């Protein structure tokens, strides 16, 4: 019995070291150096290659190394394989801080002042305050719900949109495609924290951008696949969207020749809004491995049908 790590980043070694501290003596191998694929029952993944699971005939559990599972090809996984995601207070707090940074930057015009400085221009602009600022959060799962509640607690006027009704203090809840327009109506910032599923892919499209308040700001910390890129560039060109803070993209790293690099109102961060903290997440991975060994249900298991 062994654990395989297929983590498309430089962090595989760190994951293995942390796992070994809690599971001494366990065989933990980093793909492609797998001695016997038949022994692998548990795999920890971040952006594995398509059909990765076919390499391991006795695989029982796929554990995402992040909060999302869209990168695990959930639609093609056989039903007998269980899938779990990371749910970690550190991830939620980091996401809240990133979103707050984008909000405050937009509200206080820091990008304009950076540009004015390079032109030696002294040009005071009108700023927004928290109590005047309306925010819509798309996606009220573990992370989105946390961000919405914290922003509401700070005094932002917060609306939330999700698949099912939510009862979050201070957050007005809107449900389903019929209510998407009401959720984003008249808000200053739209923050996307949705999971990427067949239902939510391309949800930020031309028709939806037409419902944005003129001069509003988009913050995308969900997935690149939520956004129809041409439609976003058009909405920016038409000044419907004043600025966009994008942390996630269709292709990562964002290709050098991508139009977003040269579009001044688009701010690019390299998928860093909230990165899995190995030290605070490793215990739940170990718990899931032990649960699998004892035929118990997993922590933070996701529904493959729903995709989250």
**Residue closer to ligand OXD, measured from CB, 12 or 133:** 12
Does 106 engage in binding with ligand OXD (CB under 6 A)?
Answer: no
CB-CB contact of 3 with 56 (8 Å): no
Q: Please state whether beta strands 40-46 and 61-64 pair in parallel, antiparallel, or not at all (unpaired).
A: parallel
Does 74 engage in binding with ligand OXD (CB under 6 A)?
Answer: no
Does 138 engage in binding with ligand OXD (CB under 6 A)?
Answer: no
**N-term to C-term CA, the chain:** 28
Footprint of ligand OXD on 253-282 (CB under 6 A): 275-276
**Residue closer to ligand OXD, measured from CB, 48 or 235:** 48
91-95: Cβ within 8 A, 24+ apart: 91/67, 91/143, 91/274, 91/276, 91/277, 91/281, 92/142, 92/143, 92/146, 92/147, 92/274, 93/146, 94/273, 94/274, 94/275, 94/277, 95/143, 95/146, 95/147, 95/193, 95/221, 95/273, 95/274
Q: Please state whether beta strands 241-246 and 266-268 pair in parallel, antiparallel, or not at all (unpaired).
A: parallel
Residue nearest to ligand OXD (CB): 66
Does 67 engage in binding with ligand OXD (CB under 6 A)?
Answer: yes
Does 197 engage in binding with ligand OXD (CB under 6 A)?
Answer: no
Does 139 engage in binding with ligand OXD (CB under 6 A)?
Answer: no
Q: Which part of the chain contacts ligand OXD (CB under 6 A), choosing from 1-9, 65-73, 176-184, 185-193?
A: 65-73
Distance (Å, whole) CA 113 – CA 187: 24
Helix (H) or strand (E) holding 227: none
CA proximity to 59, closest of 80, 36, 84, 74: 80
Binding mask 17-56 for ligand OXD (x = CB under 6 A): ----------------------------------------
Q: Which part of the chain contacts ligand OXD (CB under 6 A), choosing from 66-74, 95-103, 231-239, 290-298?
A: 66-74
Distance (Å, whole) CA 274 – CA 193: 11
**Residue closer to ligand OXD, measured from CB, 90 or 175:** 90
Does 99 engage in binding with ligand OXD (CB under 6 A)?
Answer: no
Does 160 engage in binding with ligand OXD (CB under 6 A)?
Answer: no
Residue of the chain from 19, 53, 56, 68 that contacts ligand OXD (CB under 6 A) = 68
Does 192 engage in binding with ligand OXD (CB under 6 A)?
Answer: no
Beta-bridge mates of residue 5:
30, 44
Q: How far is the CB of 35 from ligand OXD (least distance, A)?
A: 29
Q: Which part of the chain contacts ligand OXD (CB under 6 A), choosing from 15-23, 27-35, 63-71, 159-167?
A: 63-71
Q: How far is the CB of 67 from ligand OXD (least distance, A)?
A: 4
CB-CB contact of 8 with 26 (8 Å): no
**Residue closer to ligand OXD, measured from CB, 275 or 290:** 275
How many positions of this chain bind ligand OXD (CB under 6 A)? 5
Distance (Å, whole) CA 112 – CA 128: 14
Residue of the chain from 31, 45, 62, 66 that contacts ligand OXD (CB under 6 A) = 66
Please report, as ranges, the residues that interact with ligand OXD according to CB under 6 A: 66-68, 275-276
């Amino acid at each position: 019995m062994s654990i395989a790590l297929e983590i498309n980043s430089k962090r595989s070694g760190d994951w293995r070291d942390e796992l070994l501290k809690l599971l001494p003596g366990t065989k933990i191998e980093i793909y492609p150096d797998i001695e016997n694929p038949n022994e692998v029952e548990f795999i920890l993944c971040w952006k594995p290659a398509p059909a990765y699971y076919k390499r391991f005939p006795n695989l029982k559990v796929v554990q995402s190394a992040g909060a999302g599972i869209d990168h695990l090809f959930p639609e093609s996984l056989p039903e007998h394989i269980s899938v779990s995601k990371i749910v970690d207070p550190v991830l939620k707090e980091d996401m809240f801080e990133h979103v707050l940074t984008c909000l405050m930057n937009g509200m206080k015009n820091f990008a304009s002042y950076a540009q004015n400085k390079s032109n030696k221009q002294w040009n005071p602009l009108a700023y927004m305050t928290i109590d005047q600022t309306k925010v819509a959060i798309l996606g009220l799962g573990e992370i989105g719900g946390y961000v919405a509640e914290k922003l509401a607690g700070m005094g932002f006027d917060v609306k939330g949109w999700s698949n099912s009704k939510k009862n979050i203090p201070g957050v007005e809840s809107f449900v389903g495609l019929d209510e998407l327009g009401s959720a984003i109506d008249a808000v200053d910032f739209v923050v996307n924290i949705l999971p990427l599923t067949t239902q939510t892919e391309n949800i930020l499209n031309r028709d939806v951008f037409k419902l944005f308040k003129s001069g509003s700001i988009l913050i995308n910390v969900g997935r690149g696949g939520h956004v129809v890129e041409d439609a976003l560039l058009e909405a920016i060109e038409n000044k419907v969207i004043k600025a966009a803070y994008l942390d996630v993209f269709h292709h990562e790293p964002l290709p050098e020749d991508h139009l977003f690099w040269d579009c001044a109102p688009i701010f690019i961060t390299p998928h860093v809004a909230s990165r899995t903290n190995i030290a605070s997440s490793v215990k739940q991975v170990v718990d899931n491995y032990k649960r699998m060994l004892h035929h118990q249900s997993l922590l933070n298991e996701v529904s493959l049908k729903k995709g989250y």
